[in-house]
Structure 1
Amino acid sequence: MTQKYKSEETKEKIIAISTKLFIEKGFEKTSIRDICEAIGMSKGAIYHHFKSKAEIIEAVKENKYSNVEQTVNDWINEIDAQSAKEKLTGILEKDIKDQEAHSLDEALSTQIKSSDFIVSMMKDSVSKSAPIFAKIIEEGNKDGSITTDYPHECAEVFFLLLNIWCDPQIIDCNEEQLHRRLTFLQLLMKRMGVDIMSDSIVQDTEKFLKKLYSGGGEA
C-alpha cells in the first residue's frame, strides 16, 4: 500500500467518523478530541490531514455533494416516471422524505449564519445540484413535458431560491412568508415552463423546514 493511498484512506476515515459525530452531536458540540477518540488517532495525526474542524466540515460537505448525482440516479430508478417532468417531481418528493439525504442538515444548521457558509451553499447549488436538474429539464424539452428556453438558468434559480431564499435560517421569515415564498417559487417555475412543484411538494417542504428548524428562527 503506497503512502498516498494510506493518506487518502485515513482522510476518508476521518470524514466518515466526523460525519457520524456531527449528525449525533451537532457540529458545535463535536470537538477535535471527540473525533480523535472515536477514530483512535492523536490530534497531531488529525491536523496532518485537516488544519481545523472547519476544514473537516468542508470536507464532509464536499463528500455529501459528491454523492448527490448517485443518489438522484438511485431515486430515478425507483420512480415510475413516464416523462422528465415526472422524474423531477418524483426526485423532489424523494428528497423531502429521505431522512438519510438530510441527516447532515441539522448538524450543518449551526453554521448557516456564517457568510462563508452561505456563499459556499450558493456555489454548491449552482455548480453541483443545478446541473443534474438542468440535464433532466433538457430531456423534458425533448419529450414535450417541459417547455423552456432556459434549462440551466431555471435549474440554477430554482436551487438558489429553494436553498437560500426559502430557508428561514438564512433569510428570516414567519410561517406565512415561508408559504408565500414557496408558492411564488412554484408559480415561477410553472410560468417558465418547468411545472415540477406540486401543491403537496410545497406543503411537505414547509413541514420539513419547520421541523428542521423548530426552536430556531421564526418559522
Structure 2
Amino acid sequence: MPRNKYPEITERKILDTATKLFFEKGWEQTTIQDIVDEIGDITRGAFYHHFKSKEDIIEAVLNRLATENDPFKEVKKIAGLNGLEKLKKAFLLSFENIGQLEAIKTIPKILSNPKLIAKQLIECVNSGAPDILAFIEEGLLDGSISVEYPKQTAETFMLLTNIWLSPIIFSVDTDEYLLKAKHLQDLFNHIGLPVIDDKILETLVMVHKTIKNI
C-alpha cells in the first residue's frame, strides 16, 4: 500500500467524521468501524496509524472543541477591560459555550473515564492556568484584584471551576449546583478575586438547567 503523502489531511478527516458521529449517535454507540465506513476511503489500519484507540479519538475531539471555543482568545480581543473584567468575561464565555450544548449528550460517560479526567486535571494546570494568571496579574496592576498568591490562585480557580464545578463530571441537581457556585463565590471573594457575581451565578444556573434537559 503506498505511503500516505498527506497524513494531516487523513487525521483531519478522521476527526471531522468522528465528531459528526459522536454528536449524531453518541460516543458509546459509535464504533471505530463506523468512523472508517463513514469516511469511505481509509482502512482500519490507517485509522490506527493516527489514533490507537477510541479513547484517543474522543480525547482529540474534545481537545479540538476546547481549542475552537477558547474564551481567553476572544476576551483578549476586547479593549477597555481591566483584569477582573477580562476574567469575568472569559468565565462567562466558557460556560455559555460549554463544548456546544448539543454535543453534551455525548460527553458525560466519556468524562467518567479516570484517564481522561486525570489528563484534564493536568491540562487545567499546564494550559488553562497561565491564561488565568495573565488576567490576575493585570488585575493586580490595575487594582481590580488583590490576591496574595497569583499563580496558586490561577491553578485553584481552573481546577475548581473546570472539574469540581463541572455539571458533567459531577452530576447534581440545580439547587445543589447553585450552592456549589455560591460557595466558590464566597471562597474567591475572601481571597481577593471577586470574579463570580450575580450575572455569572444566573448564567451557571441557566447552563445547568439546559444540560439537565438534554
* TM-score bucket (shorter structure): 0.7 to 0.9
Name structure 2 gaps, 5 residues minimum: none
SS for the counterpart of 1:209 is helix
Contact 1:134 1:155 in 2 (8 A): yes
Quote the residue 2:17 is aligned against.
17
- Could you tell me the percent identity over the aligned residues? 32
* 1:98 equivalent in alignment to 2:61: no
Quote the residue 1:54 is aligned against.
55
Quote the residue 1:158 is aligned against.
157
Quote the residue 2:109 is aligned against.
110
Matches within 5 A, 1:9-158: 9-40=9-40, 41-67=42-68, 71-77=71-77, 79=78, 81-98=80-97, 104-158=103-157
Structure 1 residues 97-106 or 141-150, which shifts more?
Answer: 97-106
Shift of 1:198: 1.2
Runs of 4+ in 1 over 6 A off after TM superposition: none
Shift of 1:19: 1.9
Q: CA RMSD, aligned part only?
A: 2.5
Shift of 1:62: 3.2
Contact 1:133 1:155 in 2 (8 A): yes
Structure 1 residues 130 and 4: alpha-carbon distance in aligned structure 2, compared to 1, 3 A threshold: farther
Quote the residue 1:200 is aligned against.
199
Quote the residue 1:173 is aligned against.
172
Matched pairs, number: 211
Shift of 1:203: 2.1
**Aligned mates of 1:101, 1:72 — CA distance in 2:** 17
Shift of 1:143: 1.1
**Aligned mates of 1:192, 1:4 — CA distance in 2:** 54
1:87-120: CA deviation from partner (whole Å, max 9, x where unpaired): 1111222223236655654422221222222212
Contact 1:125 1:156 in 2 (8 A): yes
Contact 1:169 1:213 in 2 (8 A): no
**Aligned mates of 1:66, 1:133 — CA distance in 2:** 16
Contact 1:89 1:197 in 2 (8 A): yes
Structure 1 residues 125-134 or 15-24, which shifts more?
Answer: 15-24
Alignment TM-score, normalising by the size of structure 2: 0.85
Name structure 1 gaps, 5 residues minimum: none
**Aligned mates of 1:6, 1:101 — CA distance in 2:** 30
Shift of 1:168: 4.4
